[in-house]
Amino acid sequence: MKKLVSEFDISAEQIQDIAWKFLRAIESGLSGENSSLKMLRSFLRPPTGEETGKYLSLDFGGTNVRAALIELCGQSYLRQISYQAQLLADPVTGYDLGSPDVTAEELNAFLAGLIDDVLMISPEGVYGLGYTFSFPCQQLNLDQARLLCWAKGLQTKGVVDQDVGRLLQNALAKRNLQDRVKLKAILNDTVATLLSAKYRDKEVDIGSIIGTGHNTCYLEPLEPLHNEPMIINVEAGNFNGLTLNNYDLRLDHNSENPGEQCLEKMVSGKYIGELFRLIIFDRIEQGLLLNSRDKHFFAEPYSLRGEDLSALLADKTAELSEVAAWLGKYAVGINSTMLESRRILVEIAVLVGSRSARLVAATYLGILLHLDPLVDRKHVIAVDGSLYAKMPGYAAQVNSALKEILGSKAEKITIRANQGGSVVGAAIAAALG
């Protein structure tokens, strides 16, 4: 275990070092120099909280797809009029709209269908649409966004390099919806999270997602190209100033995009389950955990997810009976594990989960240092995503990592869970458009 601990441990010194590297990558990316951070312009200014009207919103992030009609009532108040949600991959048939044999037309027909469903249960009228599209996009302006590359395992063909707004509008036109739905804004989910939190609280200046994927955006007070305040999508998941251990290297090597999304592959829900699986598999193979005949239960890539780590970390029983139940459920047949094995499983989950939280904290620190080098002002970081919301101890570890470095100045930083921001933020962006 000692070796494993040293491979996953992130000391306070390393947090500081990563924060500085992240800060440098932000500044290079902003000024157009070579950087692993794409620093993508959103063409969005912050909302005042006084925006009003009814807007359609579409949220496409990789696992779930949601559409809604939302009324912004001003004075920071809003309400949802209708709502539809579906999974990208059909749980019954296994048909996955993110797979490489699916076309852009098929994917967009599905998205337009979801908007149509919302319109059917909504009052008559013409609506502006905000489209949260949670992948790296080069915005040409607010309603034109070219997909730079897929992330989080999606591979649908014919979308990379295309304007995702146009693809959606074509699909809407095929359903004769072009007169009822007017695309106003395309935005990243981090940007949507920031907008939805800022609609209610002026102090919010950073938005972040820690879920299937990981990314952060912030409000740049004076964006150099346009000389005005603008939200910048950092595409933090692609940060590459980190030392990869053996497991990170293996995961990256076998992924669909080797060399890309380095930070995301160390922190987000899609990948930490896989890191955990690789470690367990190795330890069984080396005779250090469970029984060698159990190895094949852990042989399938991506069979474990962030949720599995959360389930193990939630077990507070002395006998770790929930871990035993998890093992029995996951690998039918493994039900007589010794307490020691269950403890080791939890320890490994702690190592992988803590590293994720501490790395994310280091990148938040990098952004804070860019915005406010002496951390003199108040900052609110709005965070959405299943890992942040559901992994036991995760939020506390992000906070305590910041405290380790900033001491009492950490009191100026509030990190706040902000669920559902991707849907609401799209409506706010449409109102700003």
Which chain residues interact with ligand GLC by CB under 6 A?
A: 61, 134-136, 151-152, 188-190, 209, 213-215, 235, 237, 264
- CB of 268 or CB of 341, closer to ligand GLC: 268
**Strand blocks (E) in 211-306:** 214-223, 228-233
Residues in Cβ contact with 300 at an 8 Å cutoff, skipping those fewer than 6 apart: none
DSSP 133-177: E-S-EEEEETTEEEE----TT---BT-TTSBHHHHHHHHHHHTT-
> Which tokens belong to 202?
């002026």
CB of 126: closest distance to ligand GLC in angstroms?
Answer: 29
CB of 223: closest distance to ligand GLC in angstroms?
Answer: 19
CB of 37: closest distance to ligand GLC in angstroms?
Answer: 12
- CB of 66 or CB of 180, closer to ligand GLC: 66
Q: How far is CA 369 from CA 221, 379, 381, in A?
A: 14, 11, 14
CB of 325: closest distance to ligand GLC in angstroms?
Answer: 31
267: nearest Cα among 210, 311, 308: 210
Let me know: does 118 contact 68? Beta carbons within 8 Å: yes
Which amino acid, one-letter code, is at 22? F
Q: Please give the angle made by the CA atoms of 352, 358 and 363, to the nearest 5 degrees.
A: 125
80/273 Cα distance (integer angstroms): 34
CB of 153: closest distance to ligand GLC in angstroms?
Answer: 10
- CB of 266 or CB of 375, closer to ligand GLC: 266
CB of 424: closest distance to ligand GLC in angstroms?
Answer: 16
- Burial status of residue 356 (CB atoms within 10 A of its CB: 0-12, 13-18, 19 or more): buried
- CB of 190 or CB of 354, closer to ligand GLC: 190
Residue with the CB atom nearest ligand GLC in the bound state: 213
Q: How far is CA 33 from CA 20, 24, 25, in A?
A: 17, 11, 9
CB of 266: closest distance to ligand GLC in angstroms?
Answer: 12
CB of 337: closest distance to ligand GLC in angstroms?
Answer: 35
364/404 Cα distance (integer angstroms): 13
Let me know: does 355 contact 7? Beta carbons within 8 Å: no
- CB of 134 or CB of 341, closer to ligand GLC: 134
- CB of 97 or CB of 345, closer to ligand GLC: 97
> Which tokens belong to 79?
């309400």
294: nearest Cα among 241, 332, 266: 332
DSSP state of 385: S
CB of 1: closest distance to ligand GLC in angstroms?
Answer: 31
- CB of 215 or CB of 310, closer to ligand GLC: 215
- CB of 122 or CB of 419, closer to ligand GLC: 419
How many other C-beta atoms lie within 10 A of the C-beta of residue 202?
Answer: 13
433/430 Cα distance (integer angstroms): 5
